Chain A
């Protein structure tokens, strides 16, 4: 039998992990909400972000938190370049072309990662000299607590950016009505580039944070893509609070499943939740997007 203490510990770890899932999903949700493109390479961008932190950690001994900032910059540039060089030519051309192009991009990232970084999984370590937070039955480990706080902070910063800056307003206007946004003088091509850059940077940040908790290898992309998409669907497209709640639900459900059914059912649970939500409540818990779109 599973003790209450172990269950409480599992749930709290799941909640903390959920913060990172929310961060990963926010990037996907932004790109989907604004450009109407499912970024099939999102998990692979996350993987690249993880590797930026890993390389800086193993080669230069840099703290993965610094690595995360570097990863965000690198991934922002990759996102902008992807939009400029490839997506610009296929966005608004129906759904098949962007899906296939991004699928190709994902393959390239995975294969390059495998070729140049090796297939072995690697991770980073957060050394802070702090103990965990002891809450009686539950011990919040320092790395899980810090990654959760950083992830939530980045989600809140993104929300503030969208809500209170003029660029943020332009992004939201573009997502609501692209033609109207152009009429009032918004350079929507630039907005798309920025969206792809920010979306990729958020994926990169999530990857760096995950590298402190779990090993990363070049094949994790598909799994994190599906997890991020599951969170987007759970929370509803375009809802930031929904994304946070969705991330926490998913993180918790995964950990509890792993506790009762074994680790190999962690992902099965994620994908099952994902399919169930798509089928039963396609608009998500908080959003207005729909599985029928």
Chain B
């Protein structure tokens, strides 16, 4: 089934990438043609898109359900904070080019990836359920330790960033980074690397029998995924200029990421894109209607989509279109 999806997926994914280019180009002009409010929404959407894309690689392609994604997001945010505003954590200031927000953004991704590099070989001794719960525990440890280390995290008071790049440049930078991440992931999943990841997702034993080293491919997925989640966190921190351990490392980030990917469709390149759009509509539309009960609706959506649309909205649309096209072909050949 998956090989079939893969074979059918290539041409339509190419169209998806072309469409993605158009979308990102359009995103670039948002701050110049709309208000600051819409630019803010677009910024949030980009952060969520990066989170979705990164979790999708690990869970949708490599089949490793991580519930600790918030940790990498939060670490990326903190690295960006430490690099741009070291004084608040009592760290020595970095020389000029290194303290630039663009460098801080990249270092946010690198910091998260380094933590993934260290913890990955340990976490991947766990499989399935154990991996999911293990990553949840790992994220909880990171959050609790950072909350306790007030001197470097700001504790409950939080951490104010002094990045000083301005809202519009930060936004434009985020558009570029999100576009690179999305398109980069497209090339990863359509390469040998991506095939290896799908192989261990479908049947780990069979894949390792055919010479695909599961740990290696899981680690690749984990590193790339953590790197992009770290970029998302850093972009968030550079934009909001304020982070704190309780909310920036909160499980909510993991939850929202899951909602986006599951809504859109796990294991598809276009899934997180669709998911982000729908999520932004739900999150902003429903919150104004439902107020405090928005999370309940999100939970219900996760449940319903997992049960009734296991391939997500994009997967459903795709099979619907394929079905239509199938019957049309049958009609013309008659």
Contact = CB atoms under 8 A, between A and B. Distances in A.
A108 B262 CA distance: 17
Interface of B: 59, 63, 65, 67, 122, 125-130, 132-134, 136-138, 140-141, 144-145, 147-148, 251, 255, 258, 262, 266, 292-296, 298-303, 306-307, 310
A81 to B, nearest CB: 13
DSSP majority for the A interface?
A: helix
Contacts, number: 128
B306 A90 contact: yes
A89 B136 contact: no
B147 A104 contact: no
Contacts of B300: 104, 108
A226 B133 contact: yes
A271 B125 contact: no
A260 B28 CA distance: 54
B255 A275 contact: no
A99 B132 CA distance: 8
A278 B130 contact: yes
7 contacts: A101-B307, A108-B296, A111-B292, A115-B296, A265-B144, A268-B145, A291-B130
Contacts of A108: 295-296, 299-300, 303
A222 B133 contact: no
Contacts of B138: 271, 275
B148 A279 contact: no
Interface in A15-69: 32, 37-38, 40
A100 B262 contact: yes
Interface residues of A, number: 45
Contacts of A225: 136
A225 B293 CA distance: 23
Interface in A101-136: 101, 103-108, 110-112, 114-115
A104 B306 contact: yes
Contacts of A222: 136, 140, 251
A107 B299 contact: yes
Contacts of B303: 86, 101, 104-105, 108
B299 A86 contact: no
A278 B134 contact: yes
A95 interface: yes
B309 to A, nearest CB: 12
Question: B127, B137, B138: which has the most chain A beta carbons within 10 Å?
Answer: B137
A90 B295 CA distance: 22
A226 B136 contact: yes
Contacts of A114: 292
Contact of A274 (B63, B137, B144, B266): B137
Interface string A257-293: 0000010110110011011001100100000000111
A114 B292 CA distance: 9
A293 B141 contact: no
A264 B148 contact: yes
Interface of A: 32, 37-38, 40, 86, 89-90, 95-97, 99-101, 103-108, 110-112, 114-115, 222-223, 225-226, 229-230, 262, 264-265, 267-268, 271-272, 274-275, 278-279, 282, 291-293
A40 B137 CA distance: 12
A206 to B, nearest CB: 18
- The residue in A100, A112, A225, A262 that gathers the most chain B C-beta atoms within 10 A of its C-beta is A100
Contacts of A37: 129
Contacts of B251: 222
Contacts of A97: 306-307, 310
B20 to A, nearest CB: 26
Contacts of B148: 262, 264-265, 268
A56 B295 CA distance: 27
Nearest to B301: A104
Contacts of B132: 38, 40, 95, 99
Q: Which 6 A-B pairs have the closest CB atoms?
A: A107-B299, A104-B302, A111-B295, A108-B299, A104-B303, A271-B137
A51 to B, nearest CB: 16
A38 B306 contact: no
Nearest to A264: B148
- The residue in B138, B140, B262 that gathers the most chain A C-beta atoms within 10 A of its C-beta is B140
Contacts of B133: 38, 226, 229
Given A100-B258, A107-B302, A222-B140, A291 B307 contact: no
Contacts of B295: 107-108, 110-111
A100 B141 contact: no
Nearest to B144: A268
A263 to B, nearest CB: 10
Contact of A291 (B65, B126, B137, B147): B126
A95 B128 contact: yes
B205 to A, nearest CB: 12
A226 B140 contact: yes
B299 A271 contact: no
Nearest to A232: B133
Nearest to A95: B128
B175 to A, nearest CB: 30
Nearest to A270: B137
Given A115-B296, A291-B130, A271 B140 contact: yes
A40 B141 CA distance: 18
A110 B302 CA distance: 15
A268 B141 contact: yes
A67 B204 CA distance: 48
Contacts of B307: 86, 89-90, 97, 101
